[in-house]
């Protein structure tokens, strides 16, 4: 398991997937409005989070209805934490 915090692991995935700088990945940053993502990117992001946080999510996929609401970096951090 990773020694990194949830926030750090979320940040790493976003930087990698969206090709943005770490400094841009603040809790209030909105995927579409601030981080240059499009609707296809957000689908892929959710898949990447499911993969990274398999243990925390008990191997479950993030339901469509939840995924639609995860629009900022902070939303993701809170969501993962709430599932632990």
Partner 1 sequence: MPTSSAPERVVVTGIGIITSIGHNITTYWDNLLAGTSGITRITTFDPTDYPSQVGAEVKDFDAKQYMDPKEVKRNDRYSHFAMAASREALKDAILDTTKLADASRFGVIIGSGIGGIETMEKQAMTLFEKGPRKVSPFMIPSLIANIASGIVAIEFKAQGPNFGVVSACATSCHAIGEAFRFLQRGEADVMLAGGSEAAVTSLGYAGFCAMRAMSTNFNDEPARASRPFDLNRDGFIMGEGAGVLVLETLSHAKARGARIYCELAGYAATCDAYHITSPDPEGKPLSKCITQALADAKIKPEEVDYINAHGTSTPYNDKFETLAFKRAFGEHAKTIAISSTKSMTGHLLGAAGAIEAAVAIKAVQTGEIPPTINYETPDPECDLNYTPNVKIKRKVRVAISDNLGFGGQNAALVFRALD
Q: Which is nearer to partner 1, 44 or 68 (CB)?
A: 44
Identify whether the C-beta of residue 71 lies closer than 8 Å to the C-beta of residue 31.
yes
Identify whether the C-beta of residue 10 lies closer than 8 Å to the C-beta of residue 76.
yes
Among positions 8, 22, 61, 68, the unique one binding partner 1 when judged by CB under 8 A: 61
Those residues with Cβ within 8 angstroms of residue 64's Cβ, 6 or more apart along the chain or in another chain? none
Q: Which stretch binds partner 1 (CB under 8 A): 2-10, 22-30, 38-46, 68-76?
A: 38-46
Distance CA 74, CA 84 (A): 16
Among positions 5, 19, 33, 81, the unique one binding partner 1 when judged by CB under 8 A: 19
57 binds partner 1 (CB under 8 A): no
């Amino acid at each position: 398991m990773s020694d990194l915090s949830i926030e750090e692991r979320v940040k790493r995935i976003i930087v990698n997937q969206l090709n943005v700088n770490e400094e841009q990945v603040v809790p209030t940053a909105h995927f579409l409005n601030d981080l240059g993502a499009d609707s296809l990117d957000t689908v892929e992001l959710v898949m990447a989070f499911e993969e990274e946080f398999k243990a925390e999510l008990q191997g479950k996929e993030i339901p469509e209805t939840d995924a639609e609401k995860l629009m900022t970096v902070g939303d993701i951090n809170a969501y993962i934490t709430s599932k632990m």
